[in-house]
């Protein structure tokens, strides 16, 4: 089993005042910028292993009208060290991880919720019963019994979101010709498209599913190639891809949950490549909070079934929120 330590640093920033306001009021929903079922938020992240370092920067804008919201995100992701000809050490099934890609994503969110007006009198009676005043909030009630009674009078709704994303990149791969062992380079465009849906469940967290289609330029498996060194019979050996790269079309299915358990948070996801029967699991675990109260740091172990590769990501940055940016006050 291969183990590595990835250190990730995420930094959230806002640009225009309006966007900064949005970010302030509804903090980043995905500090690691990898979720396909969260609303795009503005931020940056670096993920690194011993062999590879990957960076992502995303700008976003969000709009709200009534119960509906729309967020747009433009993200640039790419390797900033490591060879583009070798498979990424990052334990994901992202076939485009070895090239710089640009992704445009749009997320629509709807939260339909009713006024408490129709239950104003029962709520008033409940407030009088427990607090001896005519108005109150759930948080004012100090007993579980009172809060249960209160919740029976309130419909919190179930916000849901739909996300569509498109991604394109360009990759160059160095390889050796399979007949002559001459060094060659092939370049080409790669692309990916994703569609996801998520549901927010009050008192529990959130759940989402994503389908991704990726068209990638993939190098052949690496081999150790030894060639004679002049003038005597010594050999020089190196690890190279032998044979021209191939284009692959991959379908990926991901299920992701966001669970708040007391004062910690989990954001596990499972991605499956059905045709190759490969599974990748990532479990971001948030346990550090900012002064403002949001989850900002933690550790994220990840594992994939084919390589048995286990990595651990440490990250700090924008807050993890139950609810994505752009739909706050």
Partner 1 sequence: MPSNFEVAVGGNALIRMFIDDSPLVINAGTASANLSPGEYVLSWVVLGAPGDTYSIEITKPATAAWKTAVTIDTAGKDAGIHWVEI
Site residues (vs partner 1, CB under 8 A): 18, 21, 24-27, 66-67, 111, 113, 115-118, 120, 123-124, 127, 134-140, 147, 150, 154-157, 159, 200, 202-205, 260, 262-263, 265, 289, 292-295, 319-323, 327-329
Q: How far is the CB of 307 from partner 1 (least distance, A)?
A: 34
**Cα–Cα nearest to 67, from 195, 199, 158:** 158
C-alpha distance from residue 31 to each of 7, 51, 64, 319 (Å): 13, 23, 22, 6
Q: Which is nearer to partner 1, 25 or 314 (CB)?
A: 25
Between strands 264-266 and 269-273, the pairing is unpaired
Q: How far is the CB of 156 from partner 1 (least distance, A)?
A: 5
Q: Which is nearer to partner 1, 158 or 215 (CB)?
A: 158
| C-alpha–C-alpha distance, residues 263 and 29, integer Å | 17
Q: How far is the CB of 100 from partner 1 (least distance, A)?
A: 32
Neighbours of 46 (CB within 10 A): 18
Count how many residues are written for the chain.
Answer: 329
Residues 319 and 295: beta-carbon distance below 8 Å? yes
Q: How far is the CB of 301 from partner 1 (least distance, A)?
A: 21
Using the Cα atoms of residue 292, residue 39, residue 63 and residue 138 in order, give the sign of their dihedral.
Answer: negative
Q: Which is nearer to partner 1, 117 or 232 (CB)?
A: 117
Q: Which is nearer to partner 1, 46 or 127 (CB)?
A: 127
| C-alpha–C-alpha distance, residues 151 and 140, integer Å | 13
Q: Which is nearer to partner 1, 236 or 329 (CB)?
A: 329
Q: How far is the CB of 325 from partner 1 (least distance, A)?
A: 9
**Cα–Cα nearest to 163, from 94, 209, 206:** 209
Q: How far is the CB of 67 from partner 1 (least distance, A)?
A: 8
Q: How far is the CB of 150 from partner 1 (least distance, A)?
A: 7
Q: How far is the CB of 270 from partner 1 (least distance, A)?
A: 22
3-class DSSP assignment, residue 21: helix
Q: Which is nearer to partner 1, 153 or 312 (CB)?
A: 153
Beta-carbon contacts of residue 243 (< 8 Å; ≥ 6 apart): 175, 176, 177, 178, 220
Q: Which is nearer to partner 1, 3 or 133 (CB)?
A: 133
C-alpha distance from residue 49 to each of 82, 173, 185, 256, 310 (Å): 10, 21, 26, 23, 11
| C-alpha–C-alpha distance, residues 107 and 328, integer Å | 15
b/e code 90-108 from CB counts within 10 Å (16+ = b): bbbbbbbbbbbbebebebe
Q: Which is nearer to partner 1, 45 or 126 (CB)?
A: 126
């Amino acid at each position: 089993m291969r183990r590595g330590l990835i250190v990730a640093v995420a930094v959230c920033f806002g640009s225009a005042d309006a966007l900064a306001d949005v970010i302030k009021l509804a903090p980043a929903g995905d500090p690691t910028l990898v979720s396909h079922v969260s609303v795009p938020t503005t931020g940056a992240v670096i993920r690194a292993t011993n062999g590879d370092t990957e960076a992502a920067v995303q700008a976003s804008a969000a709009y709200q009208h009534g119960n509906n919201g729309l967020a747009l995100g433009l993200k640039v992701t790419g390797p900033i060290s490591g060879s583009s000809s070798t498979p990424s050490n990052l334990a994901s099934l992202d076939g485009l991880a070895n090239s710089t890609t640009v992704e445009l994503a749009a997320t629509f969110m709807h939260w339909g919720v009713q006024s408490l007006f129709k239950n104003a009198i029962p709520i008033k009676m409940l407030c009088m019963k427990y607090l001896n005043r005519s108005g109150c909030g759930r948080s004012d009630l100090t007993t579980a019994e009172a809060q249960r009674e209160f919740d029976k009078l309130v419909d919190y709704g179930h916000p849901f979101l739909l996300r569509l994303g498109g991604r394109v990149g360009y990759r160059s791969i160095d390889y050796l010709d399979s007949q002559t062992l001459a060094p060659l380079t092939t370049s080409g465009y790669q692309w990916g498209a994703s569609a996801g849906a998520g549901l927010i469940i009050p008192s529990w967290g959130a759940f989402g599913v994503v389908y991704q289609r990726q068209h990638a330029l993939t190098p052949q498996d690496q081999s150790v190639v030894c060639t004679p060194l002049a003038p005597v019979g010594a050999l020089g050996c190196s690890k190279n891809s032998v044979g021209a790269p191939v284009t692959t079309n991959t379908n990926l299915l991901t299920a992701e949950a966001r669970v708040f358990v007391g004062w910690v948070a989990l954001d596990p996801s499972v991605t499956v490549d059905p045709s190759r029967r490969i599974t990748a699991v990532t479990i971001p675990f948030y346990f550090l909070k900012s002064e403002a109260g949001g989850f900002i740091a933690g550790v994220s172990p990840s594992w994939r079934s084919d390589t048995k590769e286990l990595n651990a990501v440490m990250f700090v940055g924008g807050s993890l929120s139950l609810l994505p940016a752009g739909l706050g006050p």
